[in-house]
């Protein structure tokens, strides 16, 4: 066995690289032609039933509006019923066939089963499941007093999507529907001081990539990995070290730094279009994909840059970083949407 692995270490690697170089050009040509045809003939969403979690604000809210513009019927899930109702009213104005509001907590398995079954009872079908609910945490791992306070990261970001998918899958298989899951680019490009958030998104991506293989053509899956998008997270709403959600705009500026922030409407529009075209992956904004190459081929360079931006000057406060200094020196006014420039953002 050692001899076989030894030979494969030399021969197998060379053969795999050579075969990839030969295979990729025709494969890329096929993908390009297929994408073009999917763009010409996207899925018609008129009358389709779409369940969206985390629909009360940010990307989830805008997803509701984009599906409404396609004349879909919606089931909107979030914990804040009053905010959901406002989104529902606006979605109806934009053209949604019907909208039901389902207050619930995706971290509770019983709630996941309840809002899926309620949607089925109301519409008698489910075509798209959009797993969008999520929460972020910020803090250097070595400074966290109690790691158990961050368990909700996995409960909401990972298990919330898994439990909802488990409840919805039989109905999606019946309609040959689609799952759209909002992960994050941090799943493959981990950012310092967001270790639990990075890990939850990496788990989420791996889970749904596994389902892509297991389900094949029975249910389509689109994995979305956004960069910094206009949302409650980019407005500073984070899970803090004591286990409560708070708004910390200084910490937010320190994390975003000089990264341009995309409008939530643009992200949602791209997600719905990708779902219609049957895309397996989507990164918003598209230029973020180039960072993946740096992560793969020059990880040490990425690590050094991140340490300089996010960890330098870390002695006094976590927000005292080079990235926040750059943001406050003019980057925020140039690169952030208007909604993120205010210093008076409050928690709901």
- Active site members: 197
How many other C-beta atoms lie within 10 A of the C-beta of residue 173?
A: 12
Query: Which is nearest to 245 in space by CA: 344, 140, 137, 106?
Result: 137
128-131 and 99-103 strand pairing:
unpaired
Which pair of structure tokens corresponds to residue 174? 């019946």
Using an 8 Å Cβ cutoff, are 169 and 219 in contact? yes
CA–CA gap between residue 188 and residue 330 (Å, rounded): 29
CB contact at 8 A, 279 and 297: no
Closest CA to 255 of 146, 332, 188: 332
Q: Is 234 helix (H, G, I), strand (E, B) or coil?
A: coil
Structure-token pair, residue 228 = 């910094």
Q: Is 147 exposed, middle or buried (0-12, 13-18, 19+ CB in 10 A)?
A: exposed
Contact (CB, 8 A) for 127 and 50: yes
Give 3-state DSSP helix, strand, coil % of the chain, rounded to 5: 55, 10, 30
Contact (CB, 8 A) for 77 and 106 = yes
Strand runs labelled E in 144-224: 178-182, 220-224
Element (DSSP H or E) covering residue 49: strand 49-53
Burial class (CB in 10 A: 0-12, 13-18, 19+), 155: middle
Beta partners for residue 221, in sequence order: 179
Cβ-based neighbours of 287, under 8 Å, separated by 6 or more: none
The answer to whether the beta carbons of residues 58 and 84 sit under 8 Å apart is: no
């Amino acid at each position: 066995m050692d001899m076989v692995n030894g030979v494969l270490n030399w021969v197998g690697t060379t053969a795999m690289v050579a075969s990839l170089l030969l295979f990729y050009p025709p494969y890329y040509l096929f993908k390009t032609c297929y994408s073009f045809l999917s763009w010409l003939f996207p899925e018609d969403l008129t009358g389709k039933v779409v369940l969206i979690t985390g629909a009360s604000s940010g990307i989830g809210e805008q997803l509701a509006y984009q599906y409404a513009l396609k004349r879909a019927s919606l089931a909107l899930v979030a914990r804040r019923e009053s905010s959901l109702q406002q989104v529902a009213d606006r979605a109806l104005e934009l053209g949604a066939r019907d909208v039901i509001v389902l207050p619930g907590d995706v971290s509770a398995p019983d709630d996941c089963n309840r809002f899926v079954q309620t949607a089925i009872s109301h519409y008698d079908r489910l075509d798209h499941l959009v797993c969008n609910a999520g929460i972020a945490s910020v803090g250097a791992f070595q400074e966290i007093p109690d790691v158990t306070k961050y368990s909700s990261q996995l409960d909401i970001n990972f298990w919330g999507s898994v439990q909802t998918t488990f409840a919805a899958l039989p109905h999606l298989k019946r309609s040959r529907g689609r799952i759209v899951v909002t992960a994050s680019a941090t799943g493959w490009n981990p950012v310092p001081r967001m270790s639990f958030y990075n890990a939850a998104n990496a788990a989420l991506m791996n889970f749904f990539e596994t389902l892509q293989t297991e389900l094949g053509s029975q249910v389509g899956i689109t994995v979305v990995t956004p960069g910094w998008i206009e949302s409650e997270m980019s407005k500073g709403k984070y899970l803090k070290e004591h286990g409560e959600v708070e708004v910390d705009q200084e910490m937010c500026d320190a994390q975003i730094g000089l990264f341009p922030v995309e409008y939530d409407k643009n992200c949602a529009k791209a997600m719905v279009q990708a779902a219609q075209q049957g895309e397996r992956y989507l990164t918003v904004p598209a230029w973020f994909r180039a960072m993946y190459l740096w992560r793969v081929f020059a990880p040490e360079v990425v690590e050094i840059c991140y340490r300089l931006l996010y960890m330098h000057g870390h002695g006094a406060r976590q927000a005292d970083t080079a990235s926040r200094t750059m943001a406050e020196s003019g980057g925020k006014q140039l690169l952030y949407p208007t909604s993120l420039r205010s210093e008076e953002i409050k928690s709901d």
